[in-house]
Amino acid sequence: PAVKKRADYRQPDFLIDHVDLEFTLIETTTKVICISKVTRNGSHNKPLILDGEGIQLSSVCINGTEAADYQQTDTSLTIDIDTDTFELRIESIINPKDNSSLEGLYLQAGAYCTQCEAEGFRKITYFLDRPDVLATYDVKIIADKVNFPFLLSNGNKVDSGDLSDGKHWIKWSDPFKKPCYLFALVAGDFDLLEDKFVTQSGRTIALELFVDKGMLGRGQHALDSLKKAMKWDETEFGLEYDLDIYMIVAVDFFNMGAMENKGLNVFNSKFVLADAQTATDEDYFNIEAVIAHEYFHNWTGNRVTCRDWFQLSLKEGLTVFRDQQFSADMSSPIVNRIQNVKVIRERQFAEDASAMSHPIRPDEVIEMNNFYTVTVYDKGSEVIRMLFTLLSKTGFLAGIKLYFKRFDGQAVTCDDFVQAMEDANDKDLSQFRRWYSQSGTPQIVVTDTYDAISKIYRIAFEQKHIATFEQKEKQNLVIPIQFSLLNDKLESLNLGDTDQQQLTLELNETQQCLEFYNVESKPIPSLLHGFSAPVKVDYPYTQQQLGNVMLGSPDEFARWDAGQQLFSNCIHNLAGKTELQQTTSIAETIAMFEPIIESKDISLALKAEILTLPSFETLFQQLDTVNIDALNQSRKQLFKALAQTFQANWLSHYSAFEKQPYAYQSQQVEQRKMQNLALKYLTLSAQPDVEQLLTQQFNNADNMTDSLGVLGAAQLGDLDLFERLMLAFEQKWHADPLVLDKWFALHANTDRSDILARISILMGHSRFTINNPNRVRALIGTFCFFNVAGFHNIDGTGYKFVADYLIKLNEVNPQIAARIITPLIQWQKVDKTRQQLMQLQLMRIGDTKGLSKDLFEKISKSLP
C-alpha cells in the first residue's frame, strides 16, 4: 500500500461547490445518484480523478450527455475532460447490507447509517474525497415508509412526499459548505426525544434525539448535556449554533465514539443512552463529554475544517481541549485533570515509545484511520493547553477570535491556527511550533542546590529528548513548567516581588537555571503543577520529600502526583528485596498516606484519587525495560498491604454515607467513588464480613455504579462469589447489550488461569457478535489492553489467541482490528522471550491473505 506524505500536499485540480445526492435505499442494491458542480482549479489540462471503492458504476454523464471517456481502477475513476466548468452526474449501486466495515453507508440492526470520516465517502459514490473540497449539499432519500419512517441528512428538511409503491422521500438542504467527510445519512425507525434551545441572540433551535425504540427513557441526560454544551460555548467562547435544527442519532453499530456530521451527529449508543439502572457515573460523565465534544466541533472542525488529514489535530486537539475545559466546569476540575493525565501517561506515552510514534501532526500515513490516536487527540489537546497557559486565557481567546475571523468557511492547517495565536498576541511561537512536528515524550531533569551561608537556592531545568522510532533528530521545545517551593513547615515560599507562590518557567533552551535569594532552608520543589506540559519529570526526591509535596503543595494535581510517585517508587523497588526489606518499605510508604486517609479537609474525590494505586499501564511506562511478572506481583503486594493496613479506615469510609436515591450529582458521585474504592480494599483485605457487604450492596443497589462497584470488588476476592454475582447480573441484563458489555469486560480482565477458555465460551454468547465493535472491544479489547497476566502469559497463548482473532476481524472490520492490535505491537519494553513471541504472532497476522491497509501499516512498522 502507498505511503502518503504531508509534504506532498497539492491543491485539488478540481473543485466541487455544490452536490445533489439522491439515494434509493435497498438492502444490497442501493442506488446513488451524485450530481456535482465541478470547476477546474487553476489552468491545467489534467483529467478529473475521483476516489471510489467498492462501487458498481452505472453511468457517467457530463452536462447531460453520457460520457465514454473514463477509466476505472479499484480505487479511482479518471475522466478526461477539457471543459472548465461542468455538471457531472454519476449513477452507481452500492451494497450497505454486506458492508461490515461500518464505513461508508451500512445497514445494521434495521437502520441505514453512514460514517464518512476520514475517507468513507468514497465508498458511497465516486468523489473528490478530501477535506479541502467544500460544497453545499442537497440530499434526497427514498425508502420504504413502514420500515424507515425517519430519513435524515444534514441541514434543514425542505420537502417530502409519498410514492405509490409504499415508499416515501425526504429532501434535505445544508446551506453550509462542508467537506464530504461531514456528510451523513440515517434511515430507520426510532423513538424521538425533542427539545429546544434558545441561543444568546434569541434564535430557537430544535433539538432532536433519535434512539432505538423503547429507549426514550435513556435519552434525557444526553439532551441535557447538549443544552449545557450549547450554553457553555456561548459564554466561554462566544460561539453560537448556526442551523435551525440539531439532530443526534444513537446507533448500536459504530466504530468510533461519535461523529460530528453537520447538523446530524451520529453517536455510538454507548455515549447517548443512560439511566441510573444501566449507566455508571462514569458513563454519565462520558456522555456529557462526548456530546459536548461533537457539538463543539460545529465551530472547531466544521465551520473551520482541516486542509488535509495530516492536520487532524487542528480540529481534534482543539476540540478535546474544549471538551476537557467544559467537563472541568461541569464537575470536579481536579478529578477531571487527573483523568486527562492518566490517558496521557497510560496510553499516549506508550504510543510515543512504540513503533507507531508520530507527532501530533503526522508526516506519513498509509491508512488515515490509524491516526485517530491518543497522540493526535490527547497530546494535541495538551499542546493547545500549553498555548492557553503561555498566552493566558485572555490571549488564547483573542487568538481563537482571530482564527475564526480569518478562516471561517475554510479548510486550513495547524500552522494557520498557530499563526492566528501568534498574531493576536504578538508573541513569537516559532519554537513552540515544533510541538506539531516532533514526536516523543520530553524528559525534564531537575537539579537543585542550596547554600546555607548565602541563603541562595538554585534550581536548574534541563530538557532531554530521546530518539523515537520514526524520528532520530530532536530539537528543543518550549515547555511551560509551573512549580512552587515548599519549606520544611510545608509552607509555600513567595517566589516573586508579590506574594506569588507559583511560577511558570518557559523552558526553551537545553538548560535554564533560576536563583532565589534569602531562602531560609533548602526548599522542596513541587513540580509540573496541573501537568503543565506532557513530559516526564525527573527530580531525585526522597520518599519523605514526596510525602511533603503530597501534604503541602498548593497545587492539588501536584499533591496527587506526589502520592502516585510514592507508590510507584515503592512498587519499582520491591523486586529483589528480602521479605523483611519489602515489608519495611511497604509499611513506610503506606504510613505516609495516613494523614490523607484521615484528613477531613481534603475533598472525597481527591482523596479517592490519591488512594488509588497507579495503574499497571502507568507503571509500565515509567520503566525502560519491564519485568512483567515482577511488576504485576509488586503492584498486587502493595495493593493488598494498603488494604490491610487501613482496614478500619476503609470500613469507616465505606459506612460513612447513607445511600440516597440515585442522582448524577457531584456529592453523590464522590461518595459512590469513595465507597466503591473502599469496598475493593475491604475485599482485598479479606475483611471478615465482606461477603455480606458485597451481597448487600449488590441486592440493594438502585444504580449501575454500585452494582458494578460490587462486581469490580468481588473480582479481586473469592472467585466463587464473583461467579455467582456475575451469573445473577447476566440473568438480569441478558437482553441489554450495552450493559452486557460491562459484564464481558469484567470477565475479560479477570485474573484466572483458564481465561482463554472462558473468553472462547463468551464469544459464543448469544449477545456476542464479531460484527459489533462495542462487543469486540469489551471482550477482546479488554483482554488485550488490561488482562496483564492473561495477555502476557509467558507460554505465548495470550498473544496467539489475539492474533487468531485479529486474523478473523481483519475481514470483518479492519479499523477495529487495527485498534486492538495496539498492545501486541508495543513489545519494545518487555523481555526478550515475550518480544519474540509477540513478533511471531505479528508475523503470522502479517502473512494473512487480504491483509487490510490498517493492519499492514501497524505490523510493518513494528516488526524489526
Minimum distance of ligand DPP from residue 234's CB (angstroms): 20
Minimum distance of ligand DPP from residue 372's CB (angstroms): 6
The answer to whether 623 touches 576, Cβ cutoff 8 Å, is no
Please name which of 652, 629, 519, 647 lies closest in space to residue 575, comparing C-alpha atoms. 629
Interface stretch with ligand DPP, choices 210-218, 257-265, 587-595, 606-614 (CB under 6 A) = 257-265
Please name which of 360, 363, 353, 385 lies closest in space to residue 375, comparing C-alpha atoms. 360
Q: Using CB distances below 5 to 8 A depending on partner kind, what does residue 103 bind out of Zn ion, ligand DPP, none?
A: none
Cβ contacts of 280 within 8 Å, gap of 6 or more: 703, 704, 705, 708, 742
Cβ nearer to Zn ion, comparing 323 with 670: 323
Cβ nearer to ligand DPP, comparing 252 with 316: 316
Cβ nearer to Zn ion, comparing 208 with 316: 316
The answer, yes or no, to whether the previous bond of 118 is cis (omega within 30 of 0) is yes
Cβ nearer to ligand DPP, comparing 218 with 322: 322
The only residue of 252, 294, 382, 857 in contact with ligand DPP, by rule CB under 6 A:
294
Interface stretch with ligand DPP, choices 189-197, 293-301, 390-398, 536-544 (CB under 6 A) = 293-301
Residue type for position 717: G
Cβ nearer to Zn ion, comparing 51 with 378: 378
Minimum distance of Zn ion from residue 316's CB (angstroms): 5
Q: Using CB distances below 5 to 8 A depending on partner kind, what does residue 670 bind out of ligand DPP, Zn ion, none?
A: none
Binding mask 215-254 for ligand DPP (x = CB under 6 A): ----------------------------------------
Minimum distance of ligand DPP from residue 321's CB (angstroms): 13
Minimum distance of ligand DPP from residue 378's CB (angstroms): 11
> Which H or E run includes 802?
helix 797-812
Cβ nearer to ligand DPP, comparing 260 with 609: 260
Cβ nearer to Zn ion, comparing 306 with 746: 306
Q: Using CB distances below 5 to 8 A depending on partner kind, what does residue 726 bind out of Zn ion, ligand DPP, none?
A: none
Q: How many residues bind to Zn ion according to rule CB under 5 A?
A: 2
Cβ nearer to ligand DPP, comparing 296 with 856: 296
| 3-state helix/strand/coil string of 264-284 | EEEEEHHHCCCCCCCCCHHHH
Minimum distance of Zn ion from residue 418's CB (angstroms): 19
Please name which of 758, 643, 722, 781 lies closest in space to residue 255, comparing C-alpha atoms. 781
Taking CB under 6 A as the criterion, which residues in 626-685 touch ligand DPP? none
The CA-based dihedral angle spanning residues 401, 403, 408, 410, taken in that order and rounded to the nearest 10 degrees: -170
Cβ nearer to Zn ion, comparing 33 with 360: 360
Q: Using CB distances below 5 to 8 A depending on partner kind, what does residue 561 bind out of Zn ion, ligand DPP, none?
A: none
HSE-up of 252 (CA within 13 Å, CB side)?
A: 22
Q: How many residues bind to ligand DPP according to rule CB under 6 A?
A: 10
Minimum distance of ligand DPP from residue 374's CB (angstroms): 12
Residue 146 CB: number of other CB atoms within 10 A? 10
Minimum distance of Zn ion from residue 381's CB (angstroms): 10
Please name which of 265, 288, 254, 151 lies closest in space to residue 737, comparing C-alpha atoms. 254
Q: Using CB distances below 5 to 8 A depending on partner kind, what does residue 366 bind out of ligand DPP, Zn ion, none?
A: none
Q: Using CB distances below 5 to 8 A depending on partner kind, what does residue 117 bind out of ligand DPP, Zn ion, none?
A: ligand DPP
What DSSP string describes 119-163?
TTGGGTSSB--STT--EEEEEEEEEETTT--EEEESSEEEEEEE-
Q: Using CB distances below 5 to 8 A depending on partner kind, what does residue 256 bind out of ligand DPP, Zn ion, none?
A: ligand DPP
Parallel/antiparallel/unpaired status of strands 76-79 and 48-51: antiparallel
Binding mask 318-357 for Zn ion (x = CB under 5 A): -x--------------------------------------
What region does 306 belong to: left with phi over 0, alpha with psi -120 to 50, or beta? beta
Q: Using CB distances below 5 to 8 A depending on partner kind, what does residue 140 bind out of ligand DPP, Zn ion, none?
A: none
What DSSP string describes 756-768?
HHHHHHHHTSTT-
Q: What's the CA gap between 59 and 93, in Å, rounded?
A: 10
Q: Which DSSP symbol is given to 345?
A: I
The answer to whether 248 touches 272, Cβ cutoff 8 Å, is yes
Minimum distance of ligand DPP from residue 557's CB (angstroms): 26
C-alpha cell at 442: 520530553
Q: What's the CA gap between 131 and 532, in Å, rounded?
A: 32
Taking CB under 6 A as the criterion, which residues in 412-471 touch ligand DPP? none
Minimum distance of Zn ion from residue 819's CB (angstroms): 16
List 619's β-bridge partners, or say none.
none
Q: What's the CA gap between 488 and 375, in Å, rounded?
A: 39
Cβ nearer to Zn ion, comparing 119 with 316: 316
Cβ contacts of 770 within 8 Å, gap of 6 or more: 776, 808, 809, 812, 813
Residue type for position 647: Q
What DSSP string describes 635-699?
HHHHHHHHHHHTHHHHHHHHHSS---S----HHHHHHHHHHHHHHHHHHHTT-TTHHHHHHHHHH
The only residue of 180, 209, 259, 376 in contact with ligand DPP, by rule CB under 6 A:
259
Interface stretch with ligand DPP, choices 133-141, 219-227, 290-298, 502-510 (CB under 6 A) = 290-298
Cβ nearer to Zn ion, comparing 311 with 319: 319
Q: Using CB distances below 5 to 8 A depending on partner kind, what does residue 171 bind out of Zn ion, ligand DPP, none?
A: none
> Which H or E run includes 446?
strand 443-451
The yes or no reply on residue 293 touching ligand DPP (CB under 6 A) is yes
Interface stretch with ligand DPP, choices 206-214, 256-264, 685-693, 771-779 (CB under 6 A) = 256-264
Cβ nearer to ligand DPP, comparing 614 with 773: 773
- Catalytic residue, from 294, 351, 382, 422: name it: 294
Please name which of 443, 421, 383, 350 lies closest in space to residue 826, comparing C-alpha atoms. 350
Please name which of 546, 426, 430, 554 lies closest in space to residue 482, comparing C-alpha atoms. 554
Q: Using CB distances below 5 to 8 A depending on partner kind, what does residue 378 bind out of Zn ion, ligand DPP, none?
A: none
Binding mask 304-323 for Zn ion (x = CB under 5 A): ------------x--x----
Cβ contacts of 391 within 8 Å, gap of 6 or more: 399, 421, 425, 427
Minimum distance of ligand DPP from residue 290's CB (angstroms): 8
Taking CB under 6 A as the criterion, which residues in 85-124 touch ligand DPP? 117
Residue 671 CB: number of other CB atoms within 10 A? 19
Q: What's the CA gap between 602 and 594, in Å, rounded?
A: 13
Taking CB under 6 A as the criterion, which residues in 369-388 touch ligand DPP? 372
Residue 600 CB: number of other CB atoms within 10 A? 5
Q: Using CB distances below 5 to 8 A depending on partner kind, what does residue 468 bind out of Zn ion, ligand DPP, none?
A: none
294 is catalytic: yes
Minimum distance of Zn ion from residue 319's CB (angstroms): 5
User: Can you give the binding site for Zn ion, defined by CB under 5 A?
Assistant: 316, 319
**Would you please indicate which residues are annotated as catalytic (active-site) residues?**
294
Residues near ligand DPP, by CB under 6 A? 117, 256, 258-260, 293-294, 297, 316, 372
